[in-house]
């Protein structure tokens, strides 16, 4: 390697990035040991791959590929419905294991997390590499999945390292070896560089991350602004993007969408799906005490094209009963008779913290207050009896209707624990199933059934 070191100090900080390998598919293999070593994908309910195991990826199966294409690439692939409830519980357990090593853990996404190990060498009497390896082993042992771990001086570098070897990889790059990692990293692999920025840098003659960090700070600031300088500094090992240990409480927008199979041209059914999205988005916004200034609704056609409309609200709100008439009106404007739709979605944007209501000149204050109170009562009832126990009347069109492939039930949904209902589960995944499909541990009284698998 002919390039010169970027810095000579090895570990001014120890920042770790942990990344689940094929997270959803790996969890399915952990829950169902009979699937280990077999190609597995999740996402039957959407008709496209949500996650693929590495055995499936070996056949060229990627995320977002239609299942019909998967059958051509890998006829023996096992296809499962997504069980997001169980994936979320695994994710929480993964964060908890990481916090056993350090309190500074950032829950970046359901399958990724950052951790700051700085200062813990004295506590554990070992190097940062050894601490990171112990964490990796503990996660894999407790969850039965593999994870890839990167360790370096900043979040950007740690994320590069975790992607360097997969699956079950471990890459630690101290400061005096950064030039080797950066010289082997194409610009398009750098966290924060999109296709346009990469194309622009390529036109300047830059090919690798090392080429980028060799630019002067002034040049980067003039050409790429503040974000460009932040990425440039992170790649040099400066700790710019701090570990955020707080659970996410702030949102710029909230989006709820639903893909349904088979696609439908039925206006009542598609509208019912849209109103269900609206209810879910409003519930989440109220949970964080937010109100929305704008609402967007959209419909995705069977040919994957999308049509939508945005409305500016006269007063910020997330009361479903106030937004539902507006959503119906927008739906009537964008729905095209005779067209098959495969998905609907609602986006609540321009979110802000809820404040005392300021009524407009032509509003009915009494009615508005009653609707706000009704929303609180609905939330309380749904919290006790399960989400969507009370719903807007349009959603009645979803009741008892054949749901096609979307009705394929997850293993967790088919195995309720004593006291659970279809709408209300306790936060406990069914983790251990022996090769004879006998449930071990918490679900001893449940009648064991094999998982439903669609080949």
For residue 370, whether the previous peptide bond is cis, meaning omega lies within 30 degrees of 0, is: no
Q: Using CA of residue 236, residue 242, residue 248, residue 250, what is the dihedral sign?
A: negative
DSSP single-letter state for residue 75: T
Phi, psi torsion values for 147, nearest 5 degrees: -135, 155
**Range 230-249 burial, b when 16+ CB lie within 10 A, else e:** bbbbbbbbbbebebeeeeee
Given a contact cutoff of 8 angstroms between Cβ atoms, the answer to whether 198 and 177 are in contact is no
Residue 207, token pair as written in the block: 């090919």
203 Rama sector, left if φ>0, alpha if ψ -120 to 50, beta otherwise: alpha
Residue 143, token pair as written in the block: 């969850």
CA distance 116 to 253: 29
Q: Under 8 Å CB-to-CB from 62, ≥6 apart: which residues?
A: 49, 52
64 Rama sector, left if φ>0, alpha if ψ -120 to 50, beta otherwise: left
112 is catalytic: yes
Q: Using CA of residue 143, residue 50, residue 86, residue 40, what is the dihedral sign?
A: negative
By C-alpha distance, which of 317, 315, 328, 312 is closest to 276?
328
In sequence order, what E strands does 219-301 have?
253-264, 290-301
Taking CB atoms within 8 Å and a gap of at least 24, the contacts of 327-334 are 327/274, 327/275, 327/278, 327/295, 327/297, 328/271, 328/275, 328/394, 330/295, 330/297, 331/270, 331/271, 331/274, 331/297, 331/299, 333/309, 334/297, 334/298, 334/299, 334/307, 334/308, 334/309
CA distance 131 to 168: 16
Check 104, 106, 112, 279 and give the catalytic one: 112
Over its C-alpha atoms, the chain yields an Rg (Å, rounded) of 25
Kindly list the catalytic residues.
112
């Amino acid at each position: 390697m002919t390039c010169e070191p970027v810095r000579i100090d090895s570990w001014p900080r120890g920042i770790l990035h942990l990344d689940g390998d094929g997270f959803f598919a790996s969890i399915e293999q952990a829950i169902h040991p009979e699937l280990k070593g077999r190609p597995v994908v999740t996402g039957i309910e959407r008709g496209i791959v949500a996650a693929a195991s590495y055995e499936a990826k070996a056949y060229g199966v990627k995320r977002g590929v239609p299942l019909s294409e998967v059958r051509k690439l890998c006829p023996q692939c096992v296809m499962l419905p997504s069980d997001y409830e169980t994936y979320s519980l695994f994710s929480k357990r993964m964060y908890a294991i990481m916090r056993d090593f350090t309190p500074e853990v950032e829950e970046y996404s359901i399958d990724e997390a950052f951790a700051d190990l700085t200062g813990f060498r004295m506590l554990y009497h070992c190097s940062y590499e050894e601490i990171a390896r112990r964490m990796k082993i503990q996660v894999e042992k407790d969850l039965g999945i593999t994870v890839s771990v990167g360790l370096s001086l900043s979040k950007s570098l740690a994320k590069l390292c975790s992607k360097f070897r997969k699956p079950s990889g471990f890459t630690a790059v101290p400061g005096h070896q950064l030039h080797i990692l950066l010289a082997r990293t194409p610009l398009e692999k750098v966290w924060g560089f999109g296709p346009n920025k990469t194309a622009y840098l390529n036109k300047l003659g830059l090919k690798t991350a090392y080429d980028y960090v060799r630019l002067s700070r002034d040049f980067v600031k003039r050409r790429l602004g503040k974000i460009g300088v932040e990425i440039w500094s992170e790649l040099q090992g400066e700790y710019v993007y701090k570990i955020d240990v707080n659970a996410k409480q702030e949102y710029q927008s909230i989006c709820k969408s639903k893909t349904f199979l088979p696609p439908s041209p039925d206006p009542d059914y598609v509208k019912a799906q849209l109103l269900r999205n609206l209810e879910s988005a409003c519930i989440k916004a109220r949970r964080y005490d937010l109100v929305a200034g704008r609402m967007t609704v959209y419909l995705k056609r069977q040919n994957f094209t999308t049509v939508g409309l945005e409305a500016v609200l006269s007063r910020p709100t997330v009361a479903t009963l106030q937004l539902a008439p507006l959503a119906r009106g927008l739906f009537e404007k964008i729905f095209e008779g005779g067209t098959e739709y495969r998905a609907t979605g609602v986006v609540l944007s321009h979110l802000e913290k809820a404040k005392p209501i300021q009524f407009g000149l032509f509003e009915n204050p009494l009615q508005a207050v009653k609707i706000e109170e009704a929303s609180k009562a609905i939330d309380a009832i749904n919290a006790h009896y399960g989400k969507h126990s009370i719903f807007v009347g349009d959603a009645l069109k979803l009741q008892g209707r054949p749901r096609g492939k979307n009705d394929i039930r997850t293993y967790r949904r088919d195995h309720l624990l004593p006291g659970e209902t279809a709408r209300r589960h306790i936060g406990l995944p069914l983790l251990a199933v022996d090769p004879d499909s006998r449930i071990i541990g918490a679900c001893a009284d449940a009648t064991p059934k094999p998982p439903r698998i669609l080949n």
